[in-house]
Amino acid sequence: MLVGGEGTRLRPLTEWIPKPALTLVDRPFLAYMIEWLAGHGVTEVVLACGFLPDVLRAALAGEEERAGAKIRYVVEPEPLGTAGAIRFAAEELGEDLDDRFLALNGDVLTDLDLAALLRAHAERGTTATIALHPVEDSSAYGLVRSGEGGEVLEFLEKTGERAPGEVNAGIYVLERSVLDLIPPGESVSIERDVFPRLVGDGLQALRLDGYWMDIGTPERYLRASWDILEGRVETRVGPTAPGILVAADANVAESATVGPRAVLGPGCRVRSGAEVRESVLLDGCVVGENAHVAGSILSPGVEVAPGAILGGAVVGRDERVPAG
């Protein structure tokens, strides 16, 4: 699993924590992915890390036991790109890596049927199989055109064109031979350098129906939160009410309003007359009297001053939001 990116589009949330370790609703994001993988029989997950690996490790402490899958960490000395990271991890693993393995982006919340992907790959006896997900706007993704038998005809990374289409879901079944296409020790992109070379030469795709969301922007992070809390994706999270999760020790004044749609992390306090809606407040945030927070994401320890109004904001750790 590729988890070495800097999560730039989620800054300042990701200034001190890698995106895959960031809390989504009530657990580190990767916990969802690892549980999903374990549910499909995966017993060992290798995290290809680069950015803040120790923070990632600390956030995932205990996850091995909870999910029932072993977690290994491989740390790149410098970012090697999505393919370079796979090659680097494969070299570190040596004989421990099977001839056929899964490779995944570490920022997709999904319940897609991995078994179907593995089956298609095996039946077609191919080199690489990509899971596809249909979207209305493919501009921010890898757009894939495939033929009737699933063969990839074209792989276009980030066209910038807002056209509907089937996109690369960031979930691959690969044969070890793919590693030969990746020069060692260099930054190489699987989307731009490797997949285009495999078109017509063993690159297959399979559209899978189900839930899929890349959580890499504030808008999608919030959408994923509501999808979890409103049951559009199957997880182990138990909402306090539909669309709402309030941590057991969070404190909400009687005259305050929380929701529709809100996450209040452990230790959060919402003072009297305040309102929090369509927002996620991570650990220990305080919303002062009569303050309003809407459509925002607050890092741990943020304080919103009494009477302040905050809309569509992403606030960094321990910041103070003044009134007016």
Q: Which residues are catalytic?
A: 158
| From the list ligand GDD, Mg ion, none, partner contacted by residue 5 (C-beta under 5 to 8 A by kind) | ligand GDD
CA distance readout (Å), 68 to 20, 41, 44: 19, 10, 9
Task: Tell me the C-alpha distance between 324 and 272, whole Å.
Answer: 18
Of the candidates 294, 281, 318, the one whose C-alpha atom is nearest the C-alpha of residue 25 is 281
Determine, following the binding rule CB under 5 A, whether residue 193 of this chain makes contact with Mg ion: no
Residue closer to Mg ion by CB (options 88, 212) is: 212
Find the part of the chain contacting Mg ion (CB under 5 A) among 79-87, 193-201, 211-219, 305-313: 211-219
| From the list Mg ion, ligand GDD, none, partner contacted by residue 205 (C-beta under 5 to 8 A by kind) | none
Determine, following the binding rule CB under 5 A, whether residue 191 of this chain makes contact with Mg ion: no
Question: Could you say which of 39, 79, 134, 307 contacts ligand GDD (CB under 6 A)?
Answer: 79
R_g over Cα of the chain:
21
- Tell me the per-residue interface mask from 21 to 50 with ligand GDD, x by CB under 6 A, - otherwise: ---------------------------x-x
Question: Could you say which of 26, 63, 166, 191 contacts ligand GDD (CB under 6 A)?
Answer: 191
Task: Tell me the C-alpha distance between 217 and 14, whole Å.
Answer: 11
Determine, following the binding rule CB under 5 A, whether residue 107 of this chain makes contact with Mg ion: yes
Find the part of the chain contacting Mg ion (CB under 5 A) among 28-36, 132-140, 212-220, 227-235: 212-220
Residues 6+ apart with CB under 8 A from 225: 24, 25, 261, 263, 280
Task: Tell me the C-alpha distance between 63 and 78, whole Å.
Answer: 26
Peptide bond into 12 cis (omega under 30): yes
Q: How far is the CB of 269 from ligand GDD (least distance, A)?
A: 33
CA distance readout (Å), 11 to 34, 109, 162, 285, 316: 24, 19, 24, 18, 8
User: What's the burial of 43, exposed, middle or buried (CB within 10 Å: 0-12/13-18/19+)?
Assistant: exposed
Find the part of the chain contacting Mg ion (CB under 5 A) among 134-142, 215-223, 256-264, 279-287: 215-223
Determine, following the binding rule CB under 6 A, whether residue 82 of this chain makes contact with ligand GDD: yes
Q: How far is the CB of 248 from ligand GDD (least distance, A)?
A: 31
Determine, following the binding rule CB under 6 A, whether residue 167 of this chain makes contact with ligand GDD: yes
DSSP for 255-296 reads T-EE-SSEEE-TT-EE-TT-EEESEEE-TT-EE-TT-EEES-
Q: For the chain, what's the residue count?
A: 324
Q: How far is the CB of 115 from Mg ion (least distance, A)?
A: 24
Residues that bind ligand GDD (CB under 6 A): 2-5, 48, 50, 76, 79-82, 85, 105-108, 141-142, 157, 167-168, 170, 191, 214, 216
Q: Which residues bind to Mg ion, rule: CB under 5 A?
A: 107, 214, 216
